[in-house]
């Protein structure tokens, strides 16, 4: 179906996301921090990115900005433990295509991914 890049410093979260995405037929590539995420984005050219907000080194919103410089149409979902509505608004303003809270619910994630990959015109 689609190639999805997961950028998250937590191996647990990467595993949870992979288990939610692969049964739906997507192929998954991973990066454990922002710098590697940017490398893999350029190398793999994924259809969609799921990006953690707070990571060591380059933080998620900075990674988002750099991905959008490479590709202004990039589809990026921010994944975060931060449940504040103010954070959701901030992430949208920063240009993210979507937002999902941890712990990630597989069904919700598949819906957001599906809506982004196949938007209803």
Report DSSP state, residue 108: H
Question: Min. distance of Cβ 85 from another protein in angstroms?
Answer: 6
121 binds another protein (CB under 8 A): no
Question: Min. distance of Cβ 88 from another protein in angstroms?
Answer: 10
> CB-wise, 58 or 117, nearer to another protein?
58
For residues 8-34, one letter each, b for 16 or more C-beta atoms within 10 angstroms of the residue's C-beta and e for the rest, the string is: bbeeebbebbbebbeeeebebbbbbbb
Find all residues with CB under 8 Å of 74, minimum gap 6, and list them: 41, 49, 67, 68, 97
> In 2-100, where does DSSP find H-type helix?
11-21, 34-44, 60-70, 85-93
110 binds another protein (CB under 8 A): no
> CB-wise, 63 or 74, nearer to another protein?
63
> CB-wise, 2 or 31, nearer to another protein?
31
> CB-wise, 3 or 57, nearer to another protein?
57
Site for another protein in 38-97 (CB under 8 A): 54-56, 80-87
Tokens of 48: 């969609």
13 binds another protein (CB under 8 A): yes
Cα(119)–Cα(101) distance, integer angstroms: 21
**Binding site residues, another protein, CB under 8 A:** 10-13, 15, 54-56, 80-87, 102-103, 105
């Amino acid at each position: 179906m689609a190639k999805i890049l997961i950028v998250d410093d937590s191996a647990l979260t990467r595993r949870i996301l992979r288990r939610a995405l692969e049964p739906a037929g997507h192929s998954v590539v991973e990066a454990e921090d922002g710098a590697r995420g940017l490398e893999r984005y350029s190398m793999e050219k994924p259809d969609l990115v799921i990006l953690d907000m707070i990571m060591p080194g380059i933080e998620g919103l900075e990674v988002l900005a750099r991905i959008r410089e490479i590709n202004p149409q990039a589809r990026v979902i921010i994944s975060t433990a931060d449940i504040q509505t103010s954070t959701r608004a901030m992430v949208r303003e920063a240009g993210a295509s979507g937002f999902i809270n941890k712990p990630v619910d597989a069904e919700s994630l598949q819906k957001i991914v599906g809506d982004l990959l196949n938007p209803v015109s």
